[in-house]
Copies of this chain bind each other. A is one copy, B any other.
Amino acid sequence: MKPLTVNFARMKETIEYSAKVGEIPNQGLRRLALSKEDKTMREQLREWMIDAGLEVRIDDFGNMYGRRKGQTNFDPLVIGSHLDTQPNGGRFDGVLGVLTALEAIRTLNDYEIETYRPIEIVNFTNEEGARFEPPLLGSGGLTGVFSKEYVYNRQDRDGKFFKNELAEIDFKGGETNRLQRAHAFLELHIEQGPVLENEGVTIGAVEGIKGMSWLELKVTGEGGHAGPTPMPLRKDAMMAAANIISHIEQKSNVFDNDLTVTVGRLDVKPGAVNCIPEEIVFSVDVRHLDDEVRKKFIDEMKVEMQDMATDRKVELETETLWEVNTSTFHEGIIDQVSKSAERLGYSNRRLYSGAGHDAKYMNAFCATGMIFLPSVDGKSHVESELTLDEDIEKGANVLLDTMIHVTDNNEQL
């Protein structure tokens, strides 16, 4: 049988709708978790799911599900991703995973196909971690990585609580609505890196996700007026932090080629031109496929940073905000993604993900796999993030074909 293919023109309309909800200049999107833009987008997804004949439910983390009945009432195949974005994010990250899932369902409806198992679309809450840290709060809550109390007590930078903001946008559902069991989870996503594009490959069959650590460093020095305090008497937290950050970069460059280190957030107290900074808080994101390399780097770095702080007579506190080891997806699903791409005649390769995804936590819950699509210039988390229409269409076709094969699988994965 020839593989089914989606209606791309129809899917494109949903992508364009999404691109307007939280639109910012330069084709960017700012749709922070549980914001009013997130609410608008969620309401539209709910409407689309109802129109597609799905049974919609919301759980206590705000995760949204749309269930399509199967021939059996066995554990469902779950497909989806997230609709929230970074503060200056793009139109594709997460969004494609939800909207290709919706289009796959609509295509099944077009052909009046009743799958063996039920299928559920999912939109996870606060994947990005841009508003409420850490990321993956919705999938992490669902899969028991985070307790409900922990998730509810996360605060944004304005001190607003996850729990209240979830209720505020009317997406606080019942605990009994959580996904109880799943046959498998499938997530389509943009690569967010340069590998597929550089090699001219369309479909990535994702083997797993690199381990990562998020650290928060607090440098406490001594404040004072920028003018009268002589330099040798200062305990300037900014100068100490700048030195430490430079050292982290230098060390990472010689430590291991595949290590990535990012300082994405830095806050200055008090933060005025003519005040010597008394406190600097900054984040460090460290990733590597080999968990031991990552951990060794961090251990060594901690000792060296502490020495630097001591030399400068400032205090340094290091907190681990988040840490996950490298995980490997289900071999049968990785293989099926490759096979579906082959059936459709699309170039494909296996690769690891350098970014975290909801699939990360779902992998411990049920058999899991991901499909990657090329990112132009390898960019994401920026306004100029782009995945080409032709690649999106091919990705949706691979998702549909993989889905049909996985849902018809009678065995326990």
Contacts of A236 in B (CB 8 A): 249, 262
Check if B264 sits within 8 Å of A228, measured CB to CB: no
* A28 closest partner in B (C-beta): B270
Tell me the residues in window 331-379 of chain A with beta carbons closer than 8 Å to chain B beta carbons: 353-356, 378-379
Pick from B224, B230, B258, B260: contact of A226, CB under 8 Å: B260
Pick from B193, B249, B273, B353: contact of A285, CB under 8 Å: B273
Q: Which A residues are within 8 Å of any B CB, using their own CB? A: 86-89, 128-130, 133, 135, 191-195, 210, 212, 214, 222-231, 233, 236, 238-239, 241-243, 245-246, 249, 252-253, 257-266, 268-278, 283, 285, 287, 321, 353-356, 378-382
The complex places the Cα of A321 from the Cα of B381 at a distance, in Å, of 31
Given contacts A88-B278, A192-B228, A224-B381, 4 further A-B contacts (CB under 8 A): A194-B230, A231-B260, A238-B263, A243-B249
The count of identical subunits is 2
Contacts of A245 in B (CB 8 A): 238-239, 242
Q: Given A88-B223, A242-B242, do A355 and B274 touch, yes or no (CB 8 Å)?
A: yes
Check if A226 sits within 8 Å of B287, measured CB to CB: yes
The complex places the Cα of A238 from the Cα of B246 at a distance, in Å, of 9
Check if B263 sits within 8 Å of A228, measured CB to CB: no
The complex places the Cα of A259 from the Cα of B242 at a distance, in Å, of 19
The complex places the Cα of A89 from the Cα of B133 at a distance, in Å, of 30
